[in-house]
Structure 1
Amino acid sequence: MAEEDVYTRPGPTNDIYQTLTHPPNPGTRVQRNTAQHGDTGESKKNVYRAAAVCLGLMCLLLSASIIGLVINNNHLIKHLTEQKVTFETTLDELKRRLCELPGWQKSGCGCYYISRVLESERKTWEESRQYCRDNQSDLMVINSKEKQDLVESLHQRVWLGLTDTETEGTYVWVDGTPLTTPTFWKNNEPNNGPYTSQGEDCVEIWNKGWNDRACADYNQWICEIVM
């Protein structure tokens, strides 16, 4: 009886024999592997779907941001345009009122201030220009025969807004434009002051013609506001 119990008792040895005599069905392993691969494929699809959704949301947010920027930019352009119109209107009104002040006179498309004929009120070219700029104007630019006729009618020596201080012989108006025709130089002018050591780099109207003169000399002047 003792020997019989040894051979019939269940244990690890019998499990091994059972495995050897009844091997597992290969189909079961294939099914398990197929199921595992199926789970992996489905997981990848879910990841792709999530990525696509996130990308779509990002595109929507980017589009909304661009639209918002365009709208804000349009509002800004409109605001700046309105401000520009308001500024120009205010500036025109200021110029009109300035022309009504004593000493100013309107002529053509401009408004002019001619300094008084007093020795004590004469200024250098730079001082004269600064006076004009302090009064929202600048030294006169002559670019037409009408303007030349205006200064000739004064019968005074006055500074004009013309100089070649930057480059000798290259005359430029105070508004930045180069000197072109028409020109109204006196005979043998400009000559850069051959008898002076400091040269002559600023221009005045004198005896119905232009004359270059030392900028440090004292003279009358004429300011101009272009309307």
Structure 2
Amino acid sequence: MSKPPPTKKRSVPVFLLLPNLMTVMAICAGLTAIRFAYEGNYETSVRLILVACILDGLDGRLARLMKAESPIGAELDSLADFVNFGVAPVLILYSWTLHDFGGAGWIAVLTYAICCVLRLARFNVSNRLGAEGHSSDYFVGIPSPAGAVLVLLPMVVSFALSGAPVTSPVVTAIYVCIIGLLMISRIPTYSFKNVVVDQRNTKFVLLGTVLLVAALLTYLWTTLALLSVAYIGLVLWGLKTEYLSKKPRT
């Protein structure tokens, strides 16, 4: 009986693993955020979710830049998004205030998490089919990283207004469900991926970016709260646009 031919070993340059390594680091940040939340260190938890958002924004772009895209990387990125943006934020909120609402608070957690996984599944299928339902300048519904930041807005506001009372668990639960439903909605939300700037205005963009980073480093919670409110305004504008596009003309 002949032996099967030996499998050929494939060598992969270590630097090509960097995008996947960033994705794994993002998962570690999300899971560690849950740990700090249940230890009562909520500000660190939210900071780690923000780190996960940054890593999520960088790993895919780095993979495309290095031409290191792979099916495993795509699946790993999707799983990381569910952990970091579908599970970690609402578990942090559950530890913070939703547990005071009993079973209804847990239902809000489940609602948000299921909406997030449905949104990710729809996004993955749309990518494979090459159709999102709107132009490439828009997402369909709120993307999961934005949803994670928005759902933490009650905590961020309480950090910005130090000494302010914690938001009612009933209000927080309703807010969590609304953000979850917005993720699976058909509302077009601007993606910012194809933003172009006139060459003459690049200096203003650079200055604005520097000022924004400085504000985040100096007044993190206030700046993050204002950015979240501004994004909600964009979502409402998208809702108005969607409504007008379906409104029959007389």
Bucket of the pairwise TM-score, normalised by the shorter protein: under 0.3
Which of 1 and 2 has higher RCO (CA within 8 Å, sep 6+)? 1
- TM-score normalised according to structure 1 size: 0.19
- TM-score normalised according to structure 2 size: 0.18
